[in-house]
Amino acid sequence: MTLAQRIRNDLEQAIRQEDKVRCLVLRLVLASIKNAEIAQQRTLDEAGILGVIGKEAKQRHESIKAFEQGNRQDLVAQEKAELAILLEYLPEQMSHEDIVTAARRVIDELGATSTSEKGKVMSQLMPQLKGRAEGQEVSAVVSELLSST
Q: Give the distance, in angstroms, between the CA of residue 104 and the centroid of all CA atoms in the same chain.
A: 22
φ/ψ region of 96 (left if φ > 0, alpha if ψ in -120 to 50, else beta) reads alpha
Strands (E) located in 8-145: none
What is the pTM assigned to this prediction?
A: 0.74
User: Where in the chain do CATH 1.10.1510.10 domains reside?
Assistant: 3-87
Question: What burial letters (b/e) apply to 27-42, b meaning 16+ CB within 10 Å?
Answer: eebbebbeebbeeeee
Question: pLDDT tier at 149 (50, 70, 90 boundaries)?
Answer: low
User: Where in the chain do CATH 1.10.10.410 domains reside?
Assistant: 96-147
Domain 96-147 maps to which CATH number in 1.20.1050.10, 1.20.1260.10, 1.10.10.410, 1.20.120.1200? 1.10.10.410
Q: Cβ contacts of residue 11 below 8 Å, gap of 6+?
A: 22, 23, 26, 27, 30
Question: pLDDT tier at 108 (50, 70, 90 boundaries)?
Answer: confident
pLDDT at position 114 over 90: no
Range 3-87: architecture per CATH = Orthogonal Bundle (1.10)
pLDDT, tens digit, for every residue of 24-79?
Answer: 999 999 999 999 999 999 998 888 898 899 899 989 999 999 999 999 999 999 99
Measured distance CA(114)–CA(117) in Å, rounded: 6
pLDDT at position 130 over 80: no
pLDDT at position 87 over 80: yes
So what's the pLDDT on residue 124?
A: 86
So what's the pLDDT on residue 1?
A: 76
- Contact assessment for residue 102 and residue 140, using Cβ atoms and an 8 Å cutoff: no
Closest CA to 13 of 2, 1, 4, 22: 22
Rounded to the nearest integer, the mean pLDDT of the chain is 89
